Structure 1
């Protein structure tokens, strides 16, 4: 078995760690991440296909660390899929859905990844971005994905990553990236 990225099970060669600061298309990054995760979105013997709804607004190209930003998308989408699978195990009537929305407000690009999974209990939401904190079983996660994603957004992109969740209803993770990063 090869090296995997952040406990996602995805071979690291598919997630670029490129240090290049370059102009990139956010939608292209999200779409390529979805293509890599397609195997997890497809119908399984125990559940139907996870629906992905894309609500993209027109965005400018932005200078960023594209490979690291794609790692953030991968971590958030992987967690959304895990949450949906757990919710389905408790309620087979759920139509598993991930909605990805993008829009621009002033000089900030906002990307929302919303799932209708199990949600996150309010008592642990403040710990989500702490290193090694996980709600997953030991063999399923390392507790590093959200922590690394938070660092990438804050330190590399001078942006924000935050979560809004309602237990039993789902979670919304929001990435905010300034377009004037230099």
Structure 2
């Protein structure tokens, strides 16, 4: 089983092989975690994202992941993944699970062992915190990801409390 930990704090300050970005489909920056990662990484991250092939403006479809260099971040890579918009995208639970699976598979393919991960889809995409925690933590503890050291960076007391309670249930 992978090592899964919860932390409060700024994901852009994480010491990990890869920082996971809760991106939008264009991968050109945005608000929340996405904007913070782009600001901290500097213009090299935006340049790397622009180099990712796009089809009709979509560089990363919902549920998939893409990897780029990390710019000025301490990590080697940024893994961009797009979670579902709750109440808008069909079958959000499947798409959210797929976003985590895609992220972890890409990490393993690129020899990333430590990951700093946000609560994907829990900001402006509106995913209920307890449901998102069950999906994210469930996927993270699957046997396929035993080689990964996964640290979730959670912004705020409420989300940290909810995710901690779900993690305790799963243990």
Q: TM-score, normalised by structure 2?
A: 0.28
**Largest Rg, 1 or 2:** 1
Q: Which structure ranks higher in relative contact order (CA pairs < 8 Å, sequence separation ≥ 6)? A: 2
Whose helix proportion is higher, 1 or 2? 2
Q: TM-score, normalised by structure 1?
A: 0.27
Whose strand proportion is higher, 1 or 2? 1
